[in-house]
Each structure stands twice: as C-alpha cells, then as structure tokens.
C-alpha cells in the first residue's frame, strides 16, 4: 500500500498536465479569442468616456467638473466590479463570472443611452461599468489557466492586443456616427448587439480545470482535462488529482477573506501589484479620458479629435506585438521598468507640444505604442504573481485599486491640477508615480518568466 501511494504521488498532477499540453488554435486559441472579445468591449467602453465628455457637455450644458463624472461613475463601477467579479470567479467558478459580466454591461448600456439627465446617465454608467469591470480579471484568470506554460507569457500579453482594437473602434465608429447621424446615443447603442453575441458564445467555454482541481471537483476536472488532452493531441499519460481543497460558499465574508488572503500571501508583492496598476493605468486613463477635450481646446475639430485619439489607440497594437515578442526574452520586470516611466515622460512632451498639431499627433502615436508595451506586460505579470486560489482575486483587487485611481484621478485632474498646475506639470506628477512604483517592483517583486502556475 505504501509503495502504491509513493508511485501515485510520483505521477504529474492534472494542473501540470494542462500547463504542458501543446498549443492549438481550435482549443486554447478559441478561449483566447472569446476572452479577448470581452476585453475589447472593456476598451471600447472606457474609451467612450472620452468621446462622451465633450458630446454630453454640449448636450446638457455641463461644467468640466460635472462632465468628469461621466468617466468617474463608469470607472468606479468597474473598480467595484473588478474585485467582486474576481472574487466570485475564485469562489464559484470562472465560467459563470465569464458569462455574466457582459450581460450586465449590455443591459445597462442600453439604459444609459436613454437616460433623461446626467444623474441617471451616471447611475446607469456605474452599473454597466460594474458588469464590465469583471471582464479583465476573470478573462485573464481563465485564459491563463487554459494556456500551456511555455506560451502563457505571450498569450496573456497578446490578450491586450484586443484593447487597442476596441479603443480604436470606439474612436473611429464614434467619429463616423457624429459625422453622419450626429446623435451621441448611437455611440453607445452600436456596441450592444455584438456584446450580446459574445455573451451567448461564452456559454460554450468549459470551466477552468485548475479551478475545479482547487475546489476538489475531481470528476469534472478529469473530464475537462482528458478532453483537452484529446483535442490538443497531447500525449495520453496517467496523472493524479492533487489533494482537494475545501470549496467555500459565496458570501461577502469570503470576498473580503480573499482580500485579506492576498495581503497575507505577500504584502510586498501585493503592494507592487497595486502600485503598478494604479500608476501606469492612471497615466493611460488620463490620456484616454481627456485627450479628445484637450485636443478640442487646442483647436482640433470634434471629429478630428476623435480620430486622432483613435489613432493613438490603434497604434497600440504595434506596442502589444512588441511586448508579446520580448516578454519571454527579457522577462516582465525589465519591460515595465523601461516603458512605464517612458510613457509618462512622452505624455509630458505631448502637453508641451499640444499647440503644434503635426508635432502633437506624432507624439501621441509614439505614446500610444509605448504605453501599450507596458500595459499587456503588466496584466500578464500581475496574473502570474498569485497562486490559483488567489489569482482572480489578486488581479481583481489590483484592478479595483487602479480603477479607483482612474476614476477619481481624471476628476482631480480637471477640477484642480490642470487649471492650477498646468497640463505638463500634471502629467509629470503622474509619471513620477510610475517611477516610484517600478522602483518598488524592482526591489520587492519576483520575475515570473517561465514560472509554473500553482
């Protein structure tokens, strides 16, 4: 009996089998595509805030501080959604959360398009943001746990390629709508139908085997893993389930237990994750939320400002390709240490050249590329810092912290910093926060290139 147990213990575990399977576009690639489409809508919706601010400022005669709540309400909703949906994904499964997030977003985006005033509009944008806020942490957790270890860095980095696609679509589609129909409501309604379609397709995605193993649902995990081996053409081999973990019931107490657990796991790593998320995405969201308004005030026509911002987002696809190429060569930390502060510096240059149209467009394109090298590496890196039982929560809480900064940061930016300190100084302060964050990361957070997920 003792010899049999020893032999069994020598077998690879189910999660190790999944991480060593060959990559197949019809299997893991399908999950990558479906997860990426949800991420695309996240980008589209966040970018839409920058489009709606000048449009609704004219429609409802809003002051800048009032208009800032258009983005703030949406992003605070995303912040709440990020930690709640991330924790739900760890407690009751990736698949349920993966499917439900887009449904909530779609319903309340329609409600927002027919809001009678700015107060109801912000309420509906908050709830829509709550639904969509769960997409990023849940999608990264699910895609990462289906992806073989050798490709995981590139695949998780490539996930962010959906962001510039969604952001660029928002800018170009919004410009087209305002040049023809000239009704801001259609800038929101136009993305609801494809969001509903993606919600329907998501129902076909299997539950994460790593999640099932972690929760002790051995029979289901065996079915999923054996099917993955068959579909990918992997080498059939004997494997074992690790000792099952007790599956907790969903409750707010468990949600906040996950919060305590990510800090107990390693407070220095969690500080690094939160600081990187907060500072790098603050720099990005400041540009994404206010660049159309900044360009309009500098003399750009409305439609041209939308197209320029869309171009800034679109060139980010090149940044994602660069990130995907280098992430497994140089590792995560070096890329973040260089591109994070550099993106903040370029934004300062944008502020200094905003009165020179040809120059500012070039610098915005450079900025769009550099910042989109940093962000996908950031997402891949944070998702790898935590063990399976904390991965959704760890990413979700870090995302929550960044969304709070992204929500209130632009509000403080337009109400106090920009009017009193000037555009360049305001962007320089944000860049300084990135520099502090990457220094903390360099000292206290590990490199995760090639690390095995547990």
Q: Is 450 a member of any domain?
A: no
Residue-level length of the chain:
454
pLDDT in the model for residue 312: 96
What is d(CA 386, CA 397) in angstroms, rounded to the nearest whole number?
Answer: 12
We report the CATH number of the domain holding residue 41 as: 1.20.1250.20
Kindly report, residue by residue over 368-401, the tens digit of the pLDDT.
Answer: 999 999 998 998 898 789 887 788 778 878 877 8
Q: Is 91 a member of any domain?
A: yes
Q: Is 317 a member of any domain?
A: yes
Q: Are 401 and 274 in contact (CB under 8 A)?
A: yes
Quick one: average pLDDT of 414-433? Answer: 93
What is d(CA 232, CA 373) in angstroms, rounded to the nearest whole number?
Answer: 30
The answer, yes or no, to whether residue 254 has pLDDT greater than 70, is no
Kindly report, residue by residue over 194-242, the tens digit of the pLDDT.
Answer: 887 777 777 777 877 767 777 777 788 888 888 888 888 877 777 776 6
As a whole number, the mean pLDDT across the chain is: 85
pLDDT in the model for residue 429: 96
What is d(CA 45, CA 286) in angstroms, rounded to the nearest whole number?
Answer: 15
Q: Is 402 a member of any domain?
A: yes
pLDDT in the model for residue 170: 93
Q: Is 449 a member of any domain?
A: no
Reduce the DSSP state of residue 449 to 3 states and report it.
Answer: coil
Kindly report, residue by residue over 42-79, the tens digit of the pLDDT.
Answer: 889 889 999 999 999 999 999 888 898 998 999 889 88
Instruction: Kindly indicate the confidence band of residue 9, based on its pLDDT and cuts at 50, 70 and 90.
Output: low
pTM as predicted: 0.78
pLDDT > 70 fraction of the chain, expressed in percent and rounded:
92
The answer, yes or no, to whether residue 252 has pLDDT greater than 70, is no
Residue 361: domain span: 2-444
Q: Is 158 a member of any domain?
A: yes
Give the single-character DSSP code of 400.
Answer: H
pLDDT > 90 fraction of the chain, expressed in percent and rounded:
43
Quick one: average pLDDT of 172-181? Answer: 93
Q: Is 453 a member of any domain?
A: no
Mean pLDDT is lowest, of 292-296, 362-366, 404-408, 431-435, for: 404-408
Give the CA dihedral 102, 106, 109, 115, nearest 10 degrees: -140
What is d(CA 40, CA 378) in angstroms, rounded to the nearest whole number?
Answer: 17
**Alpha carbons within 13 A on the beta-carbon side of 59:** 18
Give the single-character DSSP code of 116.
Answer: S
Provide the domain count of the chain.
Answer: 1
The answer, yes or no, to whether residue 100 has pLDDT greater than 70, is yes
What is d(CA 45, CA 129) in angstroms, rounded to the nearest whole number?
Answer: 8
Residue carrying structure tokens 């907060």:
278
SS3 track for 361-397: HHHHHHHHHHHHHHHHHHHHHHHHCCCHHHHHHHHHH
Q: Is 52 a member of any domain?
A: yes
Q: Are 413 and 425 in contact (CB under 8 A)?
A: no
CA distances from 99 to 44, 125, 138, 196, 214 (A): 18, 20, 10, 10, 21
């Amino acid at each position: 009996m003792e010899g049999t147990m020893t032999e069994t213990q020598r077998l690879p575990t189910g999660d190790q089998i999944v991480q060593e399977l060959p990559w197949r576009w019809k299997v893991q690639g399908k999950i990558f595509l479906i997860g990426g489409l949800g991420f695309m809508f996240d980008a589209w919706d966040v970018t839409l805030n920058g489009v709606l601010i000048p449009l609704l400022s004219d429609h409802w005669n809003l002051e800048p501080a009032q208009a800032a709540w258009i983005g703030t309400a949406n992003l605070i909703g995303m912040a709440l959604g990020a930690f709640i949906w991330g924790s739900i994904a760890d407690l009751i499964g990736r698949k349920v959360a993966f499917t439900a997030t887009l449904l909530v977003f779609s319903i309340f985006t329609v409600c927002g398009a027919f809001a009678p005033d700015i107060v109801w509009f912000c309420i509906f944008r908050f709830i829509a943001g709550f639904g969509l806020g769960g997409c990023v942490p849940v999608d990264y957790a699910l895609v990462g746990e289906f992806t073989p270890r050798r490709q995981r860095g590139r695949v998780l980095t490539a996930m962010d390629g959906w962001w510039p696609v969604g952001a660029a679509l928002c800018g170009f589609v919004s410009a087209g709508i305002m040049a023809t129909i000239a009704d801001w409501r259609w800038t929101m309604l136009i993305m609801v139908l494809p969001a509903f379609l993606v919600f329907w397709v998501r129902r076909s995605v299997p539950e994460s085997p790593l999640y099932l193993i972690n929760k002790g649902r051995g029979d289901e995990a065996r079915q999923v893993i054996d099917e993955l081996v068959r579909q990918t053409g992997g080498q059939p081999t004997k494997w074992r389930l690790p000792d099952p973990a007790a599956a907790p019931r969903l409750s707010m107490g468990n949600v906040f237990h996950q919060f305590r657990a990510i800090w107990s796991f390693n407070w220095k790593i969690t500080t690094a994750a939160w600081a990187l998320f907060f500072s790098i995405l603050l720099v990005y969201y400041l540009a994404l939320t206010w660049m159309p308004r900044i360009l309009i005030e500098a003399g750009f026509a409305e439609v041209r400002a939308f197209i320029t911002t869309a171009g800034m987002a679109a060139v980010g696809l090149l940044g994602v390709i660069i990130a995907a190429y280098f992430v497994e060569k140089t590792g995560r930390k070096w890329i973040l240490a260089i591109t994070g502060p550099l993106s903040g510096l370029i934004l300062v240059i944008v502020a200094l050249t905003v009165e020179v149209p040809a120059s500012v467009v070039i610098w915005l394109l450079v900025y769009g590329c550099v910042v989109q090298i940093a962000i996908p590496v950031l997402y891949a890196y944070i998702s790898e810092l935590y063990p399976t039982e904390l991965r959704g929560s760890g990413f979700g809480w870090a995302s929550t912290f960044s969304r709070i900064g992204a929500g209130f940061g632009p509000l403080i930016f337009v109400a106090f910093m920009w009017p009193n300190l000037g555009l360049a100084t305001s962007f320089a302060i944000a860049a300084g926060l990135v520099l502090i964050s990457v220094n903390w990361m360099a000292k206290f957070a590990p490199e995760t290139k090639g690390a095995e997920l547990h």
